[in-house]
A and B are shown apart, each in its own frame.
Chain A
Amino acid sequence: MYRGQSGMFSWLFHRISGLGILLFLLLHIVDITLLGFGRTVYNDALTIFSTWYVRVATLFLIAAVFYHAYNGVRIILVDFWPVLGTRYQRAMFYAVLVASVASWVPFTIFVMMPCLQAGGACSS
């Protein structure tokens, strides 16, 4: 059994998160390349990363990174100790989800903090 169960979702989420991270990586290489165009160009362009809406988008990126990282660890563990995959498959998937959320929450606080403080760097 595969379709509609945790094995399918872990695989699907891994692809979607990987694709999302890759798209951001390409964008990030473009914005870093602006360094070569001097201080004004770079600083002006980078202000967009401080807006509340790009900060919220950043939260999705960080969630994708943690899920992809921990699920990658799960895949490697199953590759080398197949018994884990047959016996603890569902438990490992839930462990990945719990670890991802646990790592993501502290980051959300730091990323969104400027939007909660008066005078914080959180433009619109």
Chain B
Amino acid sequence: MAKSATEGAERATRSSVSTRPATYGATARPHGGFELFSWYFFRISGVILIFLVIIHLTLNHVTTDVSQTVYDYVAARYQNPFWRVYDLVLETLALLHGLNGLRILIDDNVRSRGWRLAAQSTVWTIALVFWLMGTMTIITFQPGTAGITNLFGLLK
């Protein structure tokens, strides 16, 4: 956790663009630790997401117009557990990929340590809250019932 020395070096590298390896928009592969894992995660989840997202867009904007994607359409689709699993994987990978991108963006742009900690904490709180919202909905949705709101006793 001794950061001051490495942080200084990191900043020097970041502020001087010309010292970056010429990867043209890509980030250089980190040497190890979480950043290396993150580097691979971006690429692997990215490749999977290309297929999941383009199929998802085609189904809900081309073969079915968005005006038809109503409650009963979801109910019919979710009769098949395949689409629940599909949506769960899509939701989870997209959130992790997107919020990991936001994490990098914050590290690149927020220089004060305190604000960076605050921003990163916000990102991962959002990740948890939104992942729980989506996941509960996808798993518990039953047509004609109040679904997740049953858990909180909000509706009868």
- Which residues of A are interface residues toward B (Cβ below 8 A)? 2-3, 6-8, 10-11, 14-15, 18-19, 21-22, 25-26, 29-30, 32-33, 35-39, 42-43, 46-47, 49-50, 55, 58, 62, 65, 69, 71-76, 78-79, 82, 85-86, 89, 106-107, 110-111, 113-114, 121
Q: Is residue B149 contacting chain A, with contact meaning CB distance below 8 A?
A: yes
Interface size in chain B (residues, C-beta < 8 A): 53
A85 touches B22 (CB 8 A): yes
CB distance from B108 to the nearest CB of A (A): 9
Query: Given that A22-B99, A36-B149, A111-B61 are contacting pairs, would A75 and B137 also be in contact in the complex, using a CB cutoff of 8 Å?
Result: no
B155 touches A37 (CB 8 A): yes
B62 touches A49 (CB 8 A): no
A79 touches B26 (CB 8 A): yes
B133 touches A78 (CB 8 A): no
Q: Is residue B81 contacting chain A, with contact meaning CB distance below 8 A?
A: no
Q: Is the interface of A mostly helix, strand, loop or mixed?
A: helix
CB distance from A118 to the nearest CB of B (A): 15
In the complex, what residues of A have CB within 8 A of residue B141's CB? 35-36
CB distance from B96 to the nearest CB of A (A): 11
Known A26-B126, A78-B25; 14 more pairs at CB < 8 Å:
A2-B20, A11-B24, A15-B105, A19-B101, A32-B134, A33-B137, A36-B140, A37-B154, A50-B66, A72-B46, A75-B43, A85-B22, A85-B23, A86-B22
B66 touches A29 (CB 8 A): no
In the complex, what residues of A have CB within 8 A of residue B72's CB? 39
